[in-house]
Amino acid sequence: MKKLAKGLFFKEEEIENIRDRVINPKFTRVYKAMKLTADKILEHKSLVFEDDTFGYWYFARNRAMDLAMIALLTGEEKYINGVKDYIDFLDKQDRNFWQGPEYPNRPRTLNYHGQTLFAGELETAQLTMGLVAVYDWTYGLLDETYRQRIKNLLKHMALPLLKNSTMFQSEKWVMNHLCVISTAMLMSLLVLEDDMDVEEDLQLAKHGLNLWMLKIESDGSYGEAYHYWAYPVNCLFLAIWSLKQVRNEALEHAPWLSRTFEWALYHQVGQYKEPDYDKKVAIAVNTYDCPMQFQMEAPETLLFANYYKNPLAQWYMDHYLLTDLAKPKDSLHYVWHECNSLLFALYDESNLKMSPESFGLPKCRVFHDTGSVFFRDNWSGLSGGDQDIVLQLQSGGGGRSRSHEHFDKNSFSIFAKGEYFIVDPGHSCYRGEIHDNYDRETTSHNTITIDNKNQNLTFAEKGMLHDEVVQHISYNNQAQIVGKNMNEDISYISSDAHRSYAPYLKEFTRQIWFVDNRYFVVRDRVRKADDEGTIISGFNFNNRDGMLDLEINKNEVIARRPKADLYMNFFVNESINFEEEDGRLHTAYHIYPNQKVEGKLGTVKRLNLIPKDKDILFMEYIYVIYPLDKGEEKPKIHFEDSKLVICEGNAIETFTFGDDKVLYCNNKNVNYIF
Average pLDDT of every residue of the chain: 93
Q: Which phi and psi (to 5°) does residue 192 adopt?
A: -85, -10
Nearest in space to 592 (alpha carbons), one of 57, 41, 46: 57
Beta-bridge partner residues of 666: 653
Query: How many whole angstroms separate alpha carbon 498 and alpha carbon 80?
Result: 62
Give Cα 411 distance to the centre of its chain. 17
Q: Tell me the Cα Rg of the chain.
A: 26
User: Is pLDDT at 363 greater than 90 in this prediction?
Assistant: yes
Average pLDDT over residues 211-222: 71
Report DSSP state, residue 156. Answer: I
Phi, psi of 244 (to 5 degrees): -70, -45
**pLDDT > 90 in the chain, percent:** 82
d(CA 182, CA 198): 14
Q: What is the pLDDT of residue 233?
A: 95
Spatial contact of 419 and 564, defined as CB atoms under 8 Å apart: yes
pLDDT of 463 reads 67
Strand partners of residue 119: none
pLDDT at 464: 66
Contact predicate 344/27, CB 8 Å: yes
Q: What is the pLDDT of residue 443?
A: 96
Could you tell me which of 278, 256, 293 has the C-alpha nearest to residue 586?
A: 293
Contact residues for 217 (Cβ-Cβ < 8 A; gap 6+): 223, 369, 370
At 392, is the secondary structure helix, strand, or coil?
A: strand
Q: Tell me the Ramachandran region of residue 602: left when phi exceeds 0, alpha when psi lies from -120 to 50, beta otherwise.
A: left
Phi-psi region of 560 (alpha: psi -120 to 50; beta: other; left: phi over 0): beta
Whether 189 contacts 202, CB under 8 Å: yes
Residue 290: the pLDDT is 87
403/398 Cα distance (integer angstroms): 11
Exposed, middle or buried by CB within 10 Å (0-12, 13-18, 19+), for 437? Answer: exposed
* CA nearest neighbour of 487 among 234, 279, 666: 666
How many Cβ atoms from other residues are within 10 Å of residue 589's Cβ? Answer: 28
- Between 273 and 159, the more confident residue is 159
Q: What is the pLDDT of residue 275?
A: 85
For range 42-66, the mean pLDDT = 97
Highest-confidence segment of 386-400, 584-598, 622-636: 622-636
pLDDT at 402: 61
Predicted confidence at residue 220, as pLDDT, reads 55
Residue-wise pLDDT tens digits, 498-552: 999 999 999 999 999 999 999 999 999 999 998 889 999 999 999 999 999 999 9
- Report the pLDDT value the prediction gives residue 161, as an integer from 0 to 100: 98
pLDDT at 400: 52
Beta strands in 78-225 (DSSP E): 109-112, 115-118
Residue 173 has pLDDT above 90, yes or no: no
pLDDT band (50, 70, 90) for residue 218 = low
**Contact by Cβ (8 Å): 156, 211:** no
pLDDT on residue 215? 75
pLDDT-based confidence at residue 448 (cuts at 50, 70, 90):
very high
Model confidence at 406, pLDDT cuts 50, 70, 90, reads confident
- DSSP letter string, 309-349: --HHHHHHIIIIISS--B--TT-HHHHHH--HHHHHHH--T
pLDDT of residue 122: 95
Amino acid at site 80: I
pLDDT digits (tens, 9 = 90+) for 578-605: 999 999 999 999 999 989 899 999 999 9
SS3 state at 100:
coil
pLDDT value at position 124? 98
Q: How confident is the model at residue 217 (pLDDT cuts 50, 70, 90)?
A: low
Q: Residues 150-162: pLDDT tens digits?
A: 999 999 999 999 9
CB atoms within 10 A of CB 197: 9
For residue 221, what pLDDT band results from cuts at 50, 70 and 90?
low
Mapping DSSP onto H, E and C, the string for 423-440 reads CCCCCCCCCCHHHHHHHC
Q: For every residue of 219-275, which 3-state class applies, written as one string? A: CCCCCCCHHHHHHHHHHHHHHHHHHHHHHCCCCCCHHHHCCHHHHHHHHEEEEEECC
- State the pLDDT at residue 458: 82
Please list, in sequence order, all residues whose beta carbon lies within 8 angstroms of the beta carbon of residue 508, skipping any fewer than 6 positions away.
Answer: 410, 448, 496, 497, 498, 500, 501, 524, 525, 526, 527
pLDDT tens digits, residue range 477-499?
A: 889 999 999 998 999 999 999 99
CA–CA distance from 231 to each of 234, 265, 281, 296 (Å)?
5, 15, 19, 9
Distance between CA atoms of residues 188 and 193, nearest Å = 9
pLDDT tens per residue across span 605-619: 999 999 999 999 999
Confidence band, pLDDT 50/70/90 cuts, at residue 228: confident
Non-local (6+) Cβ contacts of 568 within 8 A are 556, 557, 558, 559, 623, 624, 625, 626
Distance CA 334, CA 284 (A): 14
pLDDT digits (tens, 9 = 90+) for 58-94: 999 999 999 999 999 999 999 999 999 999 999 999 9
Whole-number pLDDT of residue 45: 97
